[in-house]
Structure 1
């Protein structure tokens, strides 16, 4: 089943502008997507979900006038959190409350995280947050495909203007926009370089 979803997924640019997806279902998909692995389970991601027509007009300007910003049912902005070490206590308290770790294990996990992440360079934390958020973004697109929706990842937008226009806190930075909705025109298929040219066994 997962193989078929992966093989059938395409990046879509043409959407039915009259098709809607309920907020509750978007939340369900994002909740599933964030079961993706992350650095020490610190979940360095945030999401802005664009539904409002006026806000999406503004977003379209920032995204180089790409029409799918307005015709998709929603646009998910995936943000990285370069201060994800602030999640240390909430994450490990939650794991402890759920009975997943005992007090001794929790103390070790918290201690290791406090030693590593608050003192890491900002660029290192940006790299980790970008990688982890990318895992969640890909899972979201596969979950959406399983539910019958089309998606399209968009890296083509002005990230500085995005941060300014939507008043992001200093700790957050935009990584990718994902359009989601009902496909309105067939997307073209693509090819891949032969895997033998991309893999070396050592």
Structure 2
């Protein structure tokens, strides 16, 4: 990677900040939103099952319905769009859609690491079957949908937009108000648009405080 490209890429990450105040006059077209979500949907996921669903909230009535659910956070009204990121509790059901076309095309490397797609499918089903009473389905939904959410915010920044993630909302009320099927669980909201005010400056821990090399020392207390 060239030093110029590295600088540009790192600048994108460093300049992404969580915005709370948006220009209510700024609009995004459906195509522009779809392009952002296409990039978000290219995030990695376990078994490539793509454990996410996006609810794009753009219309004034839908925004007003979301406002009390989001505890009055006005960015859901002023932002060009608020994307509700949902996690898929039944992502195993995506396996056929993901792998079926490549299997029928004879592209066996699509399930690299497995002797056959039957073994791959069986492993996926076993993981989801044994976890019906455990946290596995929910953990997988949250893990993988969160990767897509982060990619969405970076895509927005790369397109000259601003974003703000929100977890302060009533997930149960969202499910009811927006008719979310029980297959999906709300993870977070991401408001996207043009900032009306700069993001509030925040600090970050130095890397020396956050990295542990090769495991924890049992004789050292880490705070």
Determine if contact 2:43/2:148 at 8 Å carries over to the other structure: yes
Q: Does 1:123 align with 2:135?
A: yes
The correspondence of residues 1-202 of structure 1 with structure 2, limited to 5 A, is 1-97=8-104, 100-101=107-108, 105-121=116-132, 122-202=134-214
Task: Give me the TM-score of the superposition, normalised by structure 1.
Answer: 0.94
Counterparts of 2:107 and 2:145, CA distance in 1: 24
CA displacement 1:169-198 (0-9 Å, x = unmatched): 111110000000011111122111121111
Specify every segment of 5 or more residues in structure 1 that has no aligned partner in the other structure, as ranges: none
Counterparts of 2:108 and 2:54, CA distance in 1: 28
Counterparts of 2:195 and 2:127, CA distance in 1: 44
Specify every segment of 5 or more residues in structure 2 that has no aligned partner in the other structure, as ranges: 1-7, 215-223
**Offset, 1:99:** 5.6
Determine if contact 1:44/1:132 at 8 Å carries over to the other structure: yes
Task: Give me the TM-score of the superposition, normalised by structure 2.
Answer: 0.86
- Higher gyration radius (CA): 2
Q: Closer, same or farther in 2 for the Cα pair 1:156/1:98, shift >3 Å?
A: farther
Determine if contact 1:92/1:110 at 8 Å carries over to the other structure: no
Find runs of 4+ consecutive structure 1 residues off by over 2 angstroms: 94-108
Counterparts of 2:206 and 2:199, CA distance in 1: 22
Determine if contact 1:85/1:118 at 8 Å carries over to the other structure: no
Counterparts of 2:208 and 2:76, CA distance in 1: 37
What is the root-mean-square deviation of aligned Cα atoms in Å? 1.6
